Structure 1
Amino acid sequence: MNGLRACLLLWMLLVPAGISAAETLRLVADPWPPFNDQALLNNGVASDLVTTALRRAGYTAHYAQVPWARAVRGLKQGSYDVLINAWYTDERATFGYYSQPFLINRVRFLQRKGDAIVFRQLTDLYPYSIAVVRDYAYSRAFDQDARLSKVKVVSFVQGARMLQAKRVQLAVEDELVARFHLNRSLAEIGDQLEFLPHPLSENGLHILISRKHPQHQQIADDFNQAVAAMRADGTYAQILLRHGL
């Protein structure tokens, strides 16, 4: 009996507070290679980092991949527990609890090669049409500026093809995401597009935990601690390396 009590005590110490060992966190992401994609190693680099950190923190997880709008709606409704790849917005913070950032996204504009568009501030972009992915956030100032001519598309790939076809004059995306597609599905037009030198923004990439989950803050704290430990012991760098980053 004493041995059984000791085992139970050890189990209680190892399992994060408020989390049942049988519970599985429902992770969700939209296809956003190289960060998230079921066709990639371990569902992409962001998914790999997040699931590794949660596992080290004592959680199990199930990964689902759906379009962005459905992922956000599911987090609001509580049908998903954790959105893997989220930039901060005040609106999202009303229904989700943010972790500390675990990656940094550098958002840049693309133009047709030779167009010589100059961008140093948002007012420079007022004359141009810009392909933006529906329901994505890029920067607070950009998202809220109604004077910008934004053309909503379902994906960066669609926006880049519209740019090449002269249906818009700019497209915008995280630099690593854009390079991933330009080297693969957009390879035939990649040499016709180029980045503007000045980035729009640099955004921290967070996990966003549904506030409907009773332990949302605990999950974020455990995740933050696990990521810090992964940085310290080299696991974080090893994951980036195996994804070619």
Structure 2
Amino acid sequence: MPARAWLLLLLLSPALAVAELLQLVADPWPPFNDQRLPGKGLASDLVEQALVRAGYTTSYVEVPWERAVLGLKRGDYDVLINAWYSVERAEYGYFSQPYLLNRIRFMQRKGSSIRFETLADLYPHSIAVVRGYAYSKAFDSDPLLRKVGVGSFESAARMLHAGRVQLALEDELVARFVLGRSLAGIRDELEFLPLPLSENGLHILVRRSLARHRDIAQRFDAAIEAMHEDGSYAATLQRHGF
């Protein structure tokens, strides 16, 4: 059955005669989640559109990542907007299908010609990473990598530009967003390495203590599929500059 037809049948269910309110939470992560951006960011915009199509009403808050996760576990929030899959998170939350793709990529100073095919290729180079971030299991656990902790990608990019590190690591859309704004002056002097470190699907995570957690995720998936079919998904990306 086409996604839109299946979604329509779901929406006619008596259980949703009065739209259920879902409390959404995200950590500030521009351009994906940020209350200062149009639509509260690309991910927030897509998720809220899809959930409204699926028959829900939503309320949105932003808190630091640790508080968002703790609040989901305690039942303060219903849906964490921006989650990568992990076995640990699946114990307390139910994952949707991925609705966006995060490509984690290295940046170098233009013309540096650093080669990256395996992690061992990176051992001679210092790499700026944001403290507390998870990039990939292999990368995070490799003791031979020369990782330099920083507070933000902006700091990492400035260190890279100044020659204090040889590489910086960030999600591609985040990097392009920051380089197009606060770092526009050095944007043309930095470049991505061709091969990404990892590609991670971005999901919503619905708390398992919510009675219809599976139903919410499935309705969300169907709504995202319908948005792809009618062009509104692509229009949303374009509206956010992607």
TM-score using structure 1 length = 0.85
Matched residue type, 1:49:
L
Pick aligned residue for 2:112 from 104, 112, 115:
115
Residue 70 (structure 1) shift: 2.5
8 Å CA contact 1:87, 1:205 repeated in 2 = yes
Please give the per-residue CA displacement for 1:187-244, whole angstroms capped at 9, x wherever unaligned: 1222332211211122211111222323221211111111111112222122122222
Aligned-partner SS, 2:201: strand
8 Å CA contact 1:16, 1:57 repeated in 2 = no
Matched residue type, 1:24:
L
8 Å CA contact 2:19, 2:55 repeated in 1 = no
Residue 16 (structure 1) shift: 7.6
Pick aligned residue for 2:12 from 1, 9, 14:
14
8 Å CA contact 2:11, 2:55 repeated in 1 = no
Residue 107 (structure 1) shift: 1.5
2:4 aligned residue: none
Cα 1:217–1:113 shift into 2, 3 Å: same
1:218 aligned residue: 215
Cα 1:99–1:196 shift into 2, 3 Å: same
Separation in 2 of the partners of 1:139 and 1:97? 21
Matched residue type, 2:44:
S
Separation in 1 of the partners of 2:172 and 2:11? 42
2:90 aligned residue: 93
How many positions carry a matched residue from both structures? Answer: 234
Identity of aligned residues (%): 66
* 2:48 matches 1:51: yes
Please give the per-residue CA displacement for 1:57-100, whole angstroms capped at 9, x wherever unaligned: 11111111222233223223332221111222222222221110
1:8 aligned residue: none
Matched residue type, 1:183:
G
* 2:68 matches 1:71: yes
Alignment root-mean-square deviation, CA: 2.4
Residue 15 (structure 1) shift: 5.4
2:23 aligned residue: 26
Cα 1:152–1:78 shift into 2, 3 Å: farther
Cα 1:210–1:165 shift into 2, 3 Å: farther
8 Å CA contact 1:16, 1:58 repeated in 2 = no
2:136 aligned residue: 139
Residue 133 (structure 1) shift: 2.5
TM-score using structure 2 length = 0.86
8 Å CA contact 1:87, 1:137 repeated in 2 = no
Aligned-partner SS, 1:39: coil
Separation in 2 of the partners of 1:13 and 1:232? 18
Cα 1:134–1:16 shift into 2, 3 Å: farther
Structure 1 unmatched ranges of 5 or more: 1-11
Residue 152 (structure 1) shift: 3.1
Cα 1:60–1:202 shift into 2, 3 Å: same
Matched residue type, 2:84:
W
Matched residue type, 1:128:
H
Aligned-partner SS, 2:200: strand
1:207 aligned residue: 204
